[in-house]
Amino acid sequence: MSLVTEPYYPAEQDPYRSEVVAREALSRSKPSERSRSVAVALGFITGVFGGHRYYAGKIRTGLLMTFTFGGMGIWWLVDMIMLVTGEFRDVDGRRITNWSPADFAPPGGVTVEQLEALRAEVDAMRHELMDVHERIDFQERMLQRGRTP
């Protein structure tokens, strides 16, 4: 007695299999829009906590890597080798092969106005950071002056 209600086709006779396989092969043959240099940098900086997996969209395995400290370093080492060689895949199964994030433009492209707005925002953040640095430096000097007899 079978609970299966759909007809069973062996893999070679399934009428929809070739279409699905072709679609999956096409989507996997395209490289990922994620940058390999960013993934490698995240892998080295966040190390065994799996930041490169979060970047690739692999949230579950990223969490697993975080809680196991990168499989005690072994999993992290394997991932780093795969990233550097270009064999690491994103959540969609596409290889992360492009070193430069500029190799892919976002859909619709980026306008000059958006770039200028971004540049202005980054400059404003840089000035705020420099201001905070100066304030901290001033506070440290004042504390040193107060401790010296």
From 39-53, 73-87, 90-104, the region with the lowest mean pLDDT: 90-104
- Residue 135: pLDDT band with limits 50, 70, 90: very high
> How far apart are alpha carbons 54 and 47 in whole angstroms?
12
Residue 86 predicted with pLDDT over 70? yes
From 24-28, 47-51, 88-92, 97-101, the region with the lowest mean pLDDT: 24-28
> How far apart are alpha carbons 34 and 56 in whole angstroms?
7
> How far apart are alpha carbons 116 and 44 in whole angstroms?
31
**Phi, psi dihedral angles at 89 (to 5 degrees):** -115, 150
Percentage of the chain exceeding pLDDT 70: 72
| Structure-model confidence comparison of residues 94 and 141, the more confident one | 141
> How far apart are alpha carbons 128 and 137 in whole angstroms?
14
> How far apart are alpha carbons 100 and 112 in whole angstroms?
20
From 26-40, 76-90, 108-122, the region with the lowest mean pLDDT: 26-40
From 12-21, 33-42, 113-122, the region with the lowest mean pLDDT: 12-21
Per mean pLDDT, which of 4-18, 76-90, 100-114 is the most reliable? 76-90
Q: Quote the pLDDT of residue 125.
A: 93
- Residue 27: pLDDT band with limits 50, 70, 90: low
